[in-house]
């Protein structure tokens, strides 16, 4: 799967994409990550990527031309029409289901804005607008990193064992993940639940299912209402 990220400062994402699971996936040619500086696609003779908003108001709005040129150039380079996403606080909220759906795309382009926002005509050129949460960031680079991680690890083969992803929170429904424990068996008078060291796999399965429900009801009751 090919990822293209267009941002003001794509170098912020370079270290992130060159570590851990994402780097290993690139080494195994399961995913490609291409970072693009938005200024590269600015109009010749007018290198600005932002301007004052029509109708007045504070701050600057990102111009549509650089994003349009970026979408076209990436499509030519990739040899296919990528599924294009504008990262925006006004978009649909990213969740595990959406991440899994996007992982089936052949190519995914993420457009990261800054300042007061992006010209609405950019959204009209995209397939989808996505928000990573109900809050506002200074720029879309962080949101692009979240998207890259959430979608990238859902690409088949990226996570070493399928079970590692299948037991994640939200993977197969609205539940949070069950509690996890490792060595030592006792730490500061807190012990690992006896059932987990019993060797009885059916008991362990049932215990984990119950604990996942309890944790969800305690931390995110909105998920099961």
pLDDT digits (tens, 9 = 90+) for 93-106: 999 999 999 999 99
Whole-prediction pTM: 0.85
Q: Which of 56-65, 82-91, 130-139, 172-181 has the lowest mean pLDDT?
A: 172-181
Domain ranges of the chain: 2-152, 174-223
What local confidence, expressed as pLDDT, does residue 188 receive? 94
pLDDT band at residue 163, thresholds of 50, 70 and 90?
very low
Between CA 163 and CA 62 the distance in angstroms is 42
In this predicted structure, the answer to whether residue 119 has a pLDDT above a threshold of 90 is: yes
Task: Give the tens place of pLDDT for each residue, 31-56.
Answer: 999 999 999 999 876 778 999 999 98
> CA triplet 178, 154, 182: central angle to 5 degrees?
30
Mean pLDDT of 15-32: 95
Higher pLDDT, 176 or 173: 176
Cα-Cα-Cα-Cα dihedral sign, residues 111, 5, 165, 180: negative
* pLDDT, averaged across the chain: 92
CA distances from 52 to 39, 43, 56, 63, 118 (A): 17, 17, 7, 9, 11
For residue 17, which of 147, 106, 109 has the smallest C-alpha distance?
147
Q: Which helix (H) or strand (E) holds 206?
A: helix 201-219
CATH node for 2-152: 3.40.1280.10
Domain 174-223: CATH class, spelled out: mainly alpha
């Amino acid at each position: 799967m090919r990822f293209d990220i267009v941002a003001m400062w794509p170098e912020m994402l370079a270290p992130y994409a060159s570590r851990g699971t994402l780097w290993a996936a690139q080494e195994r040619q399961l995913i490609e990550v291409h970072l693009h500086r938005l200024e590269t696609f600015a109009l010749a003779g007018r290198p600005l990527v932002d301007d004052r908003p029509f109708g007045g108001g504070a701050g600057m709005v990102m111009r549509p031309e650089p994003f349009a040129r970026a979408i076209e150039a990436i499509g030519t380079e990739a040899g296919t029409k990528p599924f294009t996403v504008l990262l925006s606080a006004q978009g649909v909220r990213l969740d595990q289901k959406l991440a899994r759906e996007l992982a089936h795309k052949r190519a995914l382009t993420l457009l990261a804005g800054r300042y007061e926002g992006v010209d609405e005509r950019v959204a009209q050129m995209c397939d989808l607008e996505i928000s990573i949460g109900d809050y506002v960031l200074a720029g879309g680079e962080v949101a692009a990193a979240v998207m890259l991680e959430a979608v990238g690890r859902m690409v088949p083969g990226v996570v070493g064992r399928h079970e590692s992803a299948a037991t994640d929170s939200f993977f197969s429904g609205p539940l949070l993940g069950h509690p996890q424990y490792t060595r030592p068996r006792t730490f500061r008078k807190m012990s690992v639940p006896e059932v987990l060291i019993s060797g009885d796999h059916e008991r362990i399965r049932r215990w984990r299912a119950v604990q996942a429900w309890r944790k969800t009801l305690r931390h995110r009751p909105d998920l099961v209402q």
